Amino acid sequence: QVQLVESGGGLVQAGGSLRLSCAAAGSILRINAMGWYRQAPGKQRELVADIASGGSTNYLDSVTGRFTISRDNAKNTVYLQMNSLKPEDTAVYYCNAQIQAVGRWRQSDYWGQGTQVTVSS
User: pLDDT per residue over 27-82, tens digit each?
Assistant: 999 999 999 999 999 999 999 999 999 999 999 999 999 999 999 999 999 999 99
For residue 48, give the nearest of 93, 90, 107, 86 by alpha carbon.
Answer: 93
Q: Which residues pair with 111 in a beta bridge?
A: 96
pLDDT at 46: 98
At position 91, the amino acid (one-letter code) is A
